[in-house]
Amino acid sequence: MVESVPIPPDELSAERDFLTAARSALARMHRDVEGREVPMIGGEDNDERFTNEANQRAHEQRTLALVDMPDVPLFFGRLDYEAGTIEELDRIYIGRRHVHDGNGAPLVIDWRAPVSVPFYRATRSDRQRVLMRRRYGFSDVAELTGYEDEPLTEADGADQADAFLRAEIERPRTGPMRDIVATIQPEQDDLVRAPLHPTVCVQGAPGTGKTAVGLHRVAYLLYTERERLSRGGVVIVGPNHSFLSYIRKVLPALGEVDVRQITIDELITLPAAATDEPESARVKGDARMAGVLHRALWSYVGKPANGILYSKGSQRYRVHDYEVVDIVAALRESTRYAPGRNALAQRIAHAVLVLMERRGESPDDRVQNAVARSKPVKELVDAAWPRVAPEQVLHRLFSDAGFLAEAAGDELTVDERAALLWNKPPRSWKSAKWSEADTMLLDELEDLIERRTGSLGHLVLDEAQDLSAMQLRALGRRCRTGSVTVLGDLAQATTPWAAGPWERVLGHLEKTDGIVAELDRGFRVPDQIIDFAAKLLPQIAPTLGVPRGVRSVEEALSVVRTDHDALADTLVASCRAALAGEGSVALIAADEQIAQLRDALADAGLEPALLGETGDEMDTTRLVCVPATLAKGLEFDAVVVVEPARIVAAEPRGLHRLYVVLTRAVSRLRIVHAEPLPTALSRLA
Ligand SMILES: Nc1ncnc2c1ncn2[C@@H]1O[C@H](COP(=O)(O)OP(=O)(O)OP(=O)(O)O)[C@@H](O)[C@H]1O
């Protein structure tokens, strides 16, 4: 809580009483919904079962959304309006969900409601009929400890909003990410409340609140567009399980429990069992592969050498080869692969029907279907337009250099083709093991063969700078009529297959009407650390500006040079010093080093956890050892980074990885090294 003028005890106790009343009202709402019988319709057919299940699920979710979370305050702010601004209410309490008194009177108003907007937007120069804004402070167990008033009618006054924001950012971290609903900043609010369409893409430096904005935007959209979104559903795609575990509690705390938070492989659902070299993963992720796959698939459609001879009784009907060639050529231009097979059979049958009519017969649709299913037509279709599985096409592409060269045309270089070919091709496509990048290619082929149907209502892509063109195409296919929130930072792109600038990303998603916005105020990282990390920007993202910090923290940054023998002791001492403060502590090092360093800390009696081992390390342990490749998106109050040069050397985009690692600290960053620092940093250190 920010230091401020003393609070009159009566007023504080009145506010506490109000909180207690609101809590009881929420408990009553929960009981009411829980006790309400779910309407069941009789009958056992699929529609009825589906409706009953949907009703039951909706009831469960509504009940869950009304559970009072003991550590999440029910409201966080209050607006006192000019009399008559809102019907019968001059004062509203703003919270994470709507609470009413049982007689229709609101006690707490949802932060997403239009009347709550001035809480985030009103200023002294544009006070939107607000007289006073009050912000509450709470203990860890959501006990109301105080409040701060900001009268908007006074011409000037200290900027309490900034002090409040700073206090909120620096509140020590204990466990997973928390919501920022009490302190959403105006530039963030613009994005949170942007309409469902068009797609929004947010470029933002580390700690500018992209993830927070994405999650609050989902909560906002579910509030304003619940009906529309419930049909297709909402999915958040994050880079890995550690990250998803870190963000998993934000939406439930905002009352939203029906959003899937998953990794891209879980969305695509084709299991990956092989790994790629970076270069072949890069080529496989490239947008040019879409053309290669298209040509490879359609090369299975041949030029029919023979027409057909269809016999019915004593009659013979001949469709000539050149006629079939014309039908095939026309269909290639107008259909996907699988429906093309059926269409070919029907068109040939139609040609037979025309011959029958010319002879004075009057065949109907049933005859056409019978002809289409007849043996000669089937045989011709199987020969000219064979059934193929995606795996079959990809297996041939990666094992047959001639086939690949033909499908690639001028699109791929000789080296790129070599990177795609298997050294030891599996014997058959059925026994092939596919990598993650392959699964995107299989997904593309599946859609070329038969158009994917259904669309998500909304999709959030976090850390989207790392996605390949082929991944983006697969994601876009799952959200053809929905919209996307794309979140990322090009400077943090660590994958060799990253698709590149945001306009290109939107193109791959087929959301070219998407809007690109930028967040440039870094809330997480103190000025000194931002300035230090930003020295890498000219090398890793020369077109991006340096983020603006919002706070400086005394002794935020230190660089400690040691020698190899003393490294472990220095790290133990650094972690001990960090643990002496409040909040979470991370030791981040190159993946190859981290297990050994964890053991060294454990031997010294520090009880560290290794991130990624159980999935809930950040909930349960103050000191977490983080492999550099898992640091993205996470944050800790204090961070110790070990041997930056090793982090850089570990992968092709090591400098980008180092930038990610250096920007994880909320209060203090200590860099410990025995090996020389990377050049860009050594000049400074
Ligand atoms: N308006 C705000 N009020 C309070 N805290 C905020 C606000 N905006 C951002 N933060 C805090 O700043 C930190 C960084 O936010 P977030 O993780 O969303 O940033 P990001 O842009 O996704 O970062 P990265 O690029 O590193 O993944 C979080 O602790 C978040 O709670």
Q: Give residue 178 CA to ligand 1 midpoint distance, Å.
A: 10
Q: Give residue 575 CA to ligand 1 midpoint distance, Å.
A: 24
Q: Where in the chain is the domain with CATH 3.40.50.300?
A: 195-298+388-522, 527-673
Q: Does the beta carbon of 211 sit less than 6 angstroms from any atom of ligand 1?
A: yes
pLDDT of residue 243: 93
- Rounded to the nearest 5 percent, the helix, strand and coil shares of the chain are 45, 15, 35
Residues with pLDDT less than 70, the chain: 1-7, 43, 156-161, 683-685
Q: Does the beta carbon of 209 sit less than 6 angstroms from any atom of ligand 1?
A: yes
Asked if 662 and 673 touch (Cβ cutoff 8 Å), the reply is no
- Indicate which residue's Cα is closest to atom 8 of ligand 1: 209
pLDDT of residue 380: 94
pLDDT of residue 157: 59
Q: Give residue 525 CA to ligand 1 midpoint distance, Å.
A: 9
Atom of ligand 1 nearest to the CA of 489: 25
Q: Is position 206 annotated in a ligand binding site? A: yes
* Domain 195-298+388-522 fold: Rossmann fold (3.40.50)
Instruction: Please tell me the distance from the alpha carbon of residue 317 to that of residue 348, in angstroms, as a whole number.
Output: 11
Asked if 534 and 507 touch (Cβ cutoff 8 Å), the reply is no
Q: Does the beta carbon of 210 sit less than 6 angstroms from any atom of ligand 1?
A: yes
Do you know the residue count of the chain?
685
Atom of ligand 1 nearest to the CA of 488: 25
- DSSP annotation of 624 reads E
pLDDT of residue 1: 39
- DSSP annotation of 364 reads -
Instruction: Please tell me the distance from the alpha carbon of residue 203 to that of residue 515, in angstroms, as a whole number.
Output: 11
CATH architecture of 527-673: 3-Layer(aba) Sandwich (3.40)
pLDDT tens digits for range 568-613:
999 999 999 999 999 999 999 999 999 999 999 999 999 999 998 8
pLDDT tens digits for range 362-390:
888 899 999 999 999 999 999 999 999 99
Instruction: Please tell me the distance from the alpha carbon of residue 611 to that of residue 605, in angstroms, as a whole number.
Output: 18
Task: Please calculate the CA angle 26-616-623 and round it to the nearest 5 degrees.
Answer: 115
pLDDT of residue 111: 96
- Indicate which residue's Cα is closest to atom 30 of ligand 1: 209
Task: Give how far Cα 675 sits from Cα of 401, 562, 572, 631, 645, Å.
Answer: 45, 9, 18, 21, 7
Q: Give residue 208 CA to ligand 1 midpoint distance, Å.
A: 5
Q: Give residue 562 CA to ligand 1 midpoint distance, Å.
A: 33
**Residues in Cβ contact with 586 at an 8 Å cutoff, skipping those fewer than 6 apart:** 623, 624, 625, 626, 631, 634, 636, 638, 639, 640, 664
Q: Is the peptide bond before 172 cis (omega within 30 degrees of 0)?
A: no
Asked if 136 and 77 touch (Cβ cutoff 8 Å), the reply is yes
Atom of ligand 1 nearest to the CA of 663: 26
Instruction: Please tell me the distance from the alpha carbon of residue 147 to that of residue 174, in angstroms, as a whole number.
Output: 23
Query: ipTM of this model?
Result: 0.99
- DSSP annotation of 272 reads -
CA 650: distance to chain centroid?
Answer: 26
Residue closest to 671 by CA, chosen among 550, 535, 546: 535
Amino acid at 60: E
Amino acid at 82: E
Q: Does the beta carbon of 583 sit less than 6 angstroms from any atom of ligand 1?
A: no
Instruction: Please tell me the distance from the alpha carbon of residue 404 to that of residue 420, in angstroms, as a whole number.
Output: 9
**Residues in Cβ contact with 347 at an 8 Å cutoff, skipping those fewer than 6 apart:** 327, 331
Best residue among 164, 523, 663 to mutate for probing ligand 1's pocket (most ligand atoms within 8 Å of CB) is 523
Q: Give residue 169 CA to ligand 1 midpoint distance, Å.
A: 8
Task: Give how far Cα 644 sits from Cα of 469, 504, 631, 685, Å.
Answer: 30, 31, 14, 12
Q: Is position 211 annotated in a ligand binding site? A: yes
Task: Give how far Cα 233 sits from Cα of 25, 56, 216, Å.
Answer: 30, 17, 16
Q: Does the beta carbon of 371 sit less than 6 angstroms from any atom of ligand 1?
A: no
